Amino acid sequence: MCGIVGAVANRDVVPILIDGLKRLEYRGYDSAGTAVINGAGVIHRARKPGKVKELEAEAEKIKLHGNIGIAHTRWATHGKPTQSNAHPHICRDKVAVVHNGIIENHEELREQQKKQGYEFTSETDTEVIVHQIFHHMDQGEDILEAVKSAVKELEGAYALGVISIDDRDRLITARRGSPLVLGIADHEYFIASDVAALIPVTKKFIFLEEGDIADIKTDGFTIYDMDGNRVERKIHESKLNADAVELGKYSHYMLKEIYEQPLAITETLEGRISNGKVLEAAFGPEAAGIFDKVQGVHIIACGTSYHAGMVGRYWLESIANIPCSVEVASEFRYRKPVVRKNQLIVTLSQSGETADTIAGLLEAKRLGFGSSLAICNVPESSLVRESDLVLMTRAGPEIGVASTKAFTTQLVAMMLLVLVLGRRHGMTDETERNIVTELEQLPRKIENALLLDDVIKQLSVYFADKHNALFLGRGANYPIAMEGALKLKEISYIHAEAYAAGELKHGPLALIDATIPVVAVAPNNELLEKLKSNLQEVSARGGRLFVFADTSVDVKGGEDAHILHVDSIHDSVAPIVFSIPLQLLAYHVALIKGTDIDKPRNLAKSVTVE
Ligand code: M6R
């Protein structure tokens, strides 16, 4: 979604704002803007449709400089990605605002403000905020009081940065429902939608809490909670380094992140397994008591994280012998599900800020689910803070919109959960030991899967001029086929669908001809012979097969078929390894098609609105 940055310092903050926006660009990227209070005490603004580099050029051209400023990268929700809709929005040259979130009562406020004589220059929901703040300042309130009053009148979600020429050294920020961090350095302070934006300027952060408002100047800051009380918030030291969000030798973040998977998985396992067992303490001191009561699991998530949840369901039922259901969070939150006693709600999310997943969790709590566990990649994210138990995936920052290392580390984390629950439901020590051994070998197996890169690159040529593709899998590898299809469609814009291979004959087989590549994942498991029959059905109808198969598996798919072998791997962790070639395939097809791989059209990394 949108990203915001703000700064107050005794130096020109424009380079900090622009660099911060570049680091946040993965959140939204249809337009960008920044405003500062310049040396003449005037609000000076630059806005541009397109990427941050367009804004950077504009800021240089108009000589934008100032010691206090706010900036924004936009992913359009209300109004097209035009210059006039880009933030910051300004009211009567006096107040400027950047906003991430959605104001649900904006129409009502707009009507009211129009009657009061305010002129609108954009179609955004944000513009009502700046008018509302101005309105309160016009009635004698200072900028802090005006923000406090205005946010009380807003319905919906917001993270705000506000500056005004009436208080030239004061940056006000507020959050409800959208993430916001306060960065602390020596007599300079920053705000941003996430830590990664500010890493070059500080490692010290406060994660503002729901309803917090902060009043920030170069000589310090004050935070007020949602009831207006002054509060102290803990300062965190970030371990992120600037390199973690640099491209290095890679041409795209997605490729970098695909190659980071062996290390990411090592990190996810670090300190959490020992002597063939999962260490329960990894889930927190209260975990054992909570897990003892769990009789069923319900998983909610979106997109790629949902696919990880689907794999989790296969594992939880087949390995841990525990009933499990899984669904997309956007459906769950409105579905009025029946809650069974002692059911654990598990949320999966890379960002921990996905609006549907957070709302799903809150709904689950309201409905009376036993306890909650978040499997998440971003510490201190909203999801993490709202959950009883947390297992961090430790994938490191994932910048590419297409999720890769976050997915495979979610699968690893999910397996750790399966094992700690399984031992309470009849799973043997031997099973746990064997799976832990497989987990330990995963980084090496993934290194081997990455060796397929060149051959996949050659094969990708075949996909680049196609309009459709089918992905097939069975059992826990069916969600892997779904994930492969999602990767291909989101970055190459080729329509791709996944089917449980056994379902093919119930309809999709009608689509098969030489123009549709059919990709299948074929680990060596008890469903292999069934999968082979499904593949025969495809090749008998002239379909062209691309099969990723375990080395021990002999698949015949007709003379046109391409069979690529993946290092022999135990069935329990095969979905993790088979994800890799599908990620590489999507990447290389998109590369040939020349799409914007890290920032595919119409998408945002973190979907913080409904
Ligand atoms: O941050 P989350 O894991 O909650 O995000 C959920 C989805 O928006 C995300 O997985 C999305 O589907 C990815 N872009 C897919 O690659």
What the block records as the tokens of 359 is 């709302």
Nearest-CA residue for atom 12 of ligand 1: 303
Q: Which atom of ligand 1 is nearest to the CA of 404?
A: 16
Q: CB within 6 Å of ligand 1 — which residues? A: 302-305, 349-351, 354, 357, 401-403, 486, 490, 606-607
pLDDT tens-place string over residues 94-127: 999 999 887 889 999 999 999 999 999 999 999 9
Confidence at residue 467, expressed as pLDDT on a 0 to 100 scale: 94
% of the chain at pLDDT higher than 70: 98
What's the whole-model pTM score? 0.75
DSSP 8-class letter at 350? S
Separation of alpha carbons 347 and 595, rounded Å? 31
Task: Tell me what pLDDT residue 321 has.
Answer: 96
Hey, what are 166's tokens?
């009436």
Would you name the residues annotated as active-site residues?
2, 605
From 59-68, 285-294, 416-425, the region with the lowest mean pLDDT = 285-294
Strand-pair category, 468-473 with 495-500: parallel
Reported as a single tens digit per residue, the pLDDT across 534-587 is 888 888 888 889 999 998 888 776 777 899 999 888 999 999 999 999 999 999
Long-range contacts of 230-234 (CB under 8 A, 24+ apart): 233/182, 233/206, 233/207, 233/208, 233/209, 234/206
Contact indicator for 49, 31 with CB cutoff of 8 Å: yes
Which one of 378, 605, 607 would you pick to mutate in the ligand 1 pocket, going by the greatest count of ligand atoms within 8 A of its CB? 607
Q: Which residues pair with 99 in a beta bridge?
A: 160
Q: Which residues of 95-125 are buried (b: 16+ CB within 10 A; e: fewer)?
A: bbbbbbbbbeebeebbebbeeeebeeebebb
CA-nearest residue, atom 11 of ligand 1: 303
Kindly report, residue by residue over 238-291, the tens digit of the pLDDT: 877 766 677 889 999 999 999 999 999 998 998 888 888 998 888 888 899 999
Report which ligand 1 atom has the smallest distance to the Cα of 383: 4
150 CA distance to ligand 1 middle (Å): 32
- What is the per-residue pLDDT for 26? 65
Residue 442: name the closest of 411, 473, 420 by CA: 411
Ligand 1 atom with least separation from CA of 606: 1
Q: Name the residue of 300, 354, 386, 403 whose CB sits within 8 Å of the most ligand 1 atoms, as the mutation to test its pocket.
A: 403
- Range with the poorest average pLDDT among 175-189, 365-379, 482-496, 552-566: 552-566
> What are 182's strand-pairing partners?
191, 206
Pick from 438, 398, 534: which is nearest to 478 by CA? 534
Atom of ligand 1 minimally distant from the CA of 357: 4
Show the 3-state SS of 107-146. HHHHHHHHHCCCCCCCCCCCHHHHHHHHHHHHCCCCHHHH
Q: What distance in angstroms lies between residue 208's CA and the mean position of ligand 1's atoms?
A: 23
Count the neighbouring beta carbons within 10 Å of the beta carbon of residue 533: 12
CA of 334 to the centre of ligand 1 (A): 20
**Confidence label for 605 from pLDDT (cuts 50, 70 and 90):** confident
What confidence category does residue 590 fall into, taking pLDDT thresholds of 50, 70 and 90? Answer: very high
Nearest CA to ligand 1 atom 7: 303
pLDDT in tens, 177-222: 778 999 999 999 999 998 889 999 999 999 898 899 999 999 999 9
- Report the separation in Å between the CA atom of 326 and the middle of ligand 1, taken as the mean of its atom positions: 16
Over range 496-503, report the average pLDDT: 92
Nearest residue CA, atom 16 of ligand 1? 402
SS3 content of the chain, % helix, strand, coil (to 5): 40, 25, 35
Amino acid in position 91: C
Q: How far is the CA of 586 from the centre of ligand 1 (A)?
A: 16
Distance of CA 606 from the midpoint of ligand 1 (Å): 7
